[in-house]
Structure 1
Amino acid sequence: MLSATANASRSQYTTVEAPSELLNGNPGPALDEIESLGAEAIRLMVAWREVAPEHESNRKPSFNSTDPNAYPDGAWSVYDTAITSARARGIRVHLTITGPAPDWATPKRDGLTKPNPNEFGKFATAVGRRYGRQVAVWSIWNEPNLGKLLKPIARNQSAKVYRNLYLKAYSGLRSAGVRAPIVLGELAPNGNSLKDQGTIKPLVFLRSMLCLNAKYKPVKVKGKRCAKVPAQGVAIHPYANRAGPFLKPPADNVTIGVLDRLTTAVDKAAKAGAITGGRLPVYVTEFGVQSLPDRRLGVSLAKQSDFRSMSERIAYLNPRVKAFSQYLLRDDYGTGWEYGAFESGLFLHKGRKQKPAFEGFRMPLVVVPSKKKTRATLWGLVRPARAAKRAGSVRIEFADRGKKWRKLATQRFGRTGYWTRKVNTKPGRAFRVIWTAPDGKKHTGPKTVAHTRP
């Protein structure tokens, strides 16, 4: 029972995004935590406006914007520190070049409406020249289908804006000598009907960006067919609501439970000649499960851990998924009612108390129910062992309602860290795993139960 599903993505790696800890000038403690949990990568976003000189000016200052040394003193310092510190620990870096733009690069001087693609391409060239050899994967613009991050969204105009931004940035990175994969998208998962701050459905946005109609047939622009878009992957942020992995949103939205919608769409786009390559990989570059204290969208702390692990298993079972993500180490500050606050971390903000998802991230465990209520399959991963390519074993325990924990079995796993086991079960039975690290420290995973509905 050492191996998991044969066609699963056992080469999939995990990225952690923790901007408040990694971009504060002292990323060491957070990187040590990420390394101890077994994550192999971090994602950072370089915001154009944060680096550009005189970003509130209506007129572009005189400087060579393709030269990273022409930017203000200290403009790159937090990124330099985070990237250098990550690489020193053997942690790879995924870098997203994103907005908002400096005012002088947008016609409305708002940093969001129709950023100048030529200027953005020059900025991408500068970023590529500074970090080209240090970055494992690149992506262009965070959640471009979200109206508060790129405008205008009326009639899907931002998709065309994004196409031009992406192509210029892609060209700029390649001209700077970047050879690593460049992925498009970083798409938000769900559309809505808000006029200005709303979101275009990700697959609608993707088709518009690639000049395809709803049936994935090419659409001419100004009488000409659009050129093929180069890409080495597509990135998605497949967040769900309280239904978690059980959510089945309307067509053209992509949440974790319907991740295969994206691979299907990408394959259709490639077949139509709109994008390079075939069977492009998918990068889940931002994902988390919202928990209490968010009283609007959050689930219980226990369910957050279970839903997070279930979501990772969904990604694992999709062989096209190259990377999975944990968004936030520590929850955002907030009472749970503020719009935009993320309580998807592994620590509570208050007191930095570990959630069940902390050890659940180190050692994901899913109880997969079967048609027979007396049988189930356990799916698990020991993430640090996977990162170290070290085989080992876990102790599996179970507990029935009102009963103490009892040993079920010792389960071995191979160098990939993944394992599965068929077990007997009954309603209300919970499972957990205990792993002893090479340094002798014992880690106990959270109580985990089967879920058949939200």
Structure 2
Amino acid sequence: MKPVTSIRTGRRAAAPALALVLAAILLGAGLGRPALADASRTQRTLFEAPRELLGPDQALRTRTLAELRSLGVRDLRIVLYWKDVAPDPGSRSVPGFHERDPAAYDWGHYAPAIDQAAAAGLRVLLTVTGPVPRWATAARRDQVTRPSPQHYQRFFEAVARRFGAEVDRFSVWNEPNHPAFLMPQFVHGHAASGAIYRRLYVAARRGLKAAGRSRQPLLFGETAPRGTSHVVAPLRFLRQALCLTSAYHRRRSCRRLSVTAVAHHPYTTKAGPSFVPPDRDDVTIGVLHRLSTFLARAERARALTPGTRIALTEFGIQSRPDPYVGVSLTRQAAYRARSEQLAYEQPRVDTFAQYLLRDDDPRPGPAASRYSGFESGLRTSAGAAKPAYAGFRLPLVARRSGRGLVSLWGLVRPAAAATTVTIDVLDRGEHQWHTLKHVRTSSRGWWRSRTRRTAGRRYRVRWTDQAGVT
């Protein structure tokens, strides 16, 4: 197995490879680079693989956990849907059961993955979210409209009692600014979901305290990246959830919240990490500074405690065969690496995510619905490794940096301590790679270097692990 990532810089390139993609797309102007001293050197990588980890196949789960560890993954995200574990979730009447008692719920779909991941030494982020039991909503008409904070507090206490010792961090709700998970988003044209969410977050924190887990980290937000007529834009949602006016003045009736980190899903478009959404309340990977600026203003308004971090808890780059938002397989690897670098360069970011190990299976029906799932995996739906697979283990970015220079940035994800990588180059017209330099990484595997730019030059990085595998 040879996890080698190669890229090219310069004005022209002949082959349609990852090299060409990074040279033509990611090396352009418009995405400035802060100094290394400002970077988030402790950034962790969160991986989500629900099909492999949450299914009934224990052998597949064991193989997947071993594979993820070989890729350098140390953190997993698991999304727990309230309706999946609660008694009689379709009933309008509250069943007669002890809501705070973990034994009253059916954890069978989630417990094997959480238990096995914890036993394997992996840290788990557990997102406790809707849809909810019908009986736990205000009007009991559906499973997403106005969930009861009282019922959620009791349920969160039960979750914390069952999984608190195995879970590293909890999070409140998945994409609460999206109508698939929380309603109503708007009332008479005005955003409403942020106020509903705030009550759920407070309820979750009380549930943690009741379970004896008040010091357990709790994430806030987990917002979807962009607003529409049906989805509240993330910064607009967060302002409402934190009781902030559009001018960032906190309403006196609201206390400052204790938040470990604000979580977000910074998905971008087919244009990749260079995309800048026109609505300033949207936050995609290319404009993470908007969320950083938001947090600074919220802290000054005393709506959040100082030093609140950003956790990017779900992210991926869609690839072909999705005909609508998918990019080429080599471009997927390039966009993914550049996105990770952008996250790394934001000091507040402590978590970057990869959503899916393997693409969703194609769905039956016309082309419009065949690839309506996610094609953001490191493997195809059939299991073949994409270029992003090697690129995930050894992400590499090359960008023009100043006059006549190229900045190289990367990560040895499996590294458990400082190590050395070898940078090779292949110049135009040559057929054999040769070594440019050796670079020492940080204790967590990050590295950066610069070199003189040569038009048409391709770069790759090699690393050999302690077992001698390159």
Change (3 A) 1:269 1:413: closer
2:10 aligns with none
Displacement of 1:429 in angstroms is: 2.6
1:164 aligns with 199
1:28 aligns with 62
Displacement of 1:146 in angstroms is: 0.5
CA contact (8 A) 2:172 2:201 kept: yes
Given candidates 383, 403, 406, the residue that maps to 2:433 is 406
Displacement of 1:151 in angstroms is: 0.5
User: 1-side partners of 2:395 and 2:405: how far apart?
Assistant: 20
CA contact (8 A) 1:294 1:337 kept: no
Q: CA RMSD in A?
A: 1.7
Map residues 229-308 of structure 1 onto 2, 5 A cutoff.
229-249=257-277, 250-275=279-304, 277-308=305-336
Given candidates 185, 191, 196, the residue that maps to 2:227 is 191
Map residues 62-73 of structure 1 onto 2, 5 A cutoff.
62-71=96-105
Find out whether 1:418 has 2:449 as its counterpart. no
Change (3 A) 1:263 1:414: closer
Q: Which moved more, 1:432-441 or 1:408-417?
A: 408-417
Letter in 2 for 1:88: A
Letter in 2 for 1:199: V
Deviation digits for residues 45-90 of structure 1, max 9, x if unmatched? 111000000011111110011110122xxx2133221122112222
User: 2-side partners of 1:148 and 1:70: how far apart?
Assistant: 26
Change (3 A) 1:50 1:402: farther
Displacement of 1:352 in angstroms is: 0.5
User: 2-side partners of 1:238 and 1:166: how far apart?
Assistant: 21
Q: Which moved more, 1:106-115 or 1:323-332?
A: 106-115
Given candidates 354, 359, 367, the residue that maps to 2:398 is 367
Letter in 1 for 2:307: R
Find out whether 1:37 has 2:68 as its counterpart. no
1:133 counterpart SS class: coil
1:259 counterpart SS class: helix
Q: Which moved more, 1:416-425 or 1:298-307?
A: 416-425
Q: Which runs of 5+ in 2 are unaligned?
A: 1-34
CA contact (8 A) 2:118 2:167 kept: no
User: 2-side partners of 1:137 and 1:97: how far apart?
Assistant: 11
Letter in 1 for 2:91: S
CA contact (8 A) 1:86 1:93 kept: yes
2:30 aligns with none
2:411 aligns with 381
Given candidates 82, 85, 89, the residue that maps to 2:120 is 89
Displacement of 1:334 in angstroms is: 2.2
Deviation digits for residues 262-281 of structure 1, max 9, x if unmatched? 12112212222223x11201
CA contact (8 A) 2:92 2:140 kept: no
CA contact (8 A) 1:292 1:300 kept: yes
Change (3 A) 1:115 1:414: closer
2:384 aligns with 353
Normalising by the residue count of structure 2, what TM-score does the alignment of the two structures yield?
0.86
Given candidates 413, 423, 444, the residue that maps to 1:396 is 423
Q: Which moved more, 1:420-429 or 1:155-164?
A: 420-429
2:327 counterpart SS class: coil
1:39 counterpart SS class: coil
Given candidates 201, 218, 229, the residue that maps to 1:182 is 218
Given candidates 125, 129, 132, the residue that maps to 2:157 is 125
Change (3 A) 1:405 1:121: farther
Letter in 1 for 2:424: E
2:296 counterpart SS class: helix
Deviation digits for residues 294-318 of structure 1, max 9, x if unmatched? 1111111111111111111111111
Change (3 A) 1:340 1:212: farther
Find out whether 1:205 has 2:205 as its counterpart. no
User: 2-side partners of 1:344 and 1:182: how far apart?
Assistant: 27
CA contact (8 A) 1:132 1:177 kept: no
User: Structure with the greater relative contact order (CA < 8 A, sep ≥ 6): 1 or 2?
Assistant: 2
Displacement of 1:363 in angstroms is: 0.5
Change (3 A) 1:41 1:366: same
User: 2-side partners of 1:98 and 1:254: how far apart?
Assistant: 22
Letter in 2 for 1:94: L
Deviation digits for residues 188-233 of structure 1, max 9, x if unmatched? 010012xxxx21100000011112111111246xxxx123222111
2:37 counterpart SS class: coil
Q: Which moved more, 1:337-346 or 1:52-61?
A: 337-346
1:47 aligns with 81
2:14 aligns with none
Letter in 2 for 1:257: G
CA contact (8 A) 2:318 2:376 kept: yes
CA contact (8 A) 2:310 2:348 kept: yes
Displacement of 1:186 in angstroms is: 0.2
Change (3 A) 1:340 1:60: farther
Displacement of 1:148 in angstroms is: 1.6
Q: Which moved more, 1:427-436 or 1:54-63?
A: 427-436
Q: Aligned pair count?
A: 422
User: 1-side partners of 2:256 and 2:437: how far apart?
Assistant: 54
User: 2-side partners of 1:134 and 1:405: how far apart?
Assistant: 49
CA contact (8 A) 2:145 2:183 kept: yes
2:166 aligns with 134
Deviation digits for residues 391-414 of structure 1, max 9, x if unmatched? 322222222456424122233324
Displacement of 1:340 in angstroms is: 4.5
User: 1-side partners of 2:228 and 2:163: how far apart?
Assistant: 36
CA contact (8 A) 1:397 1:405 kept: no
Displacement of 1:10 in angstroms is: 1.3
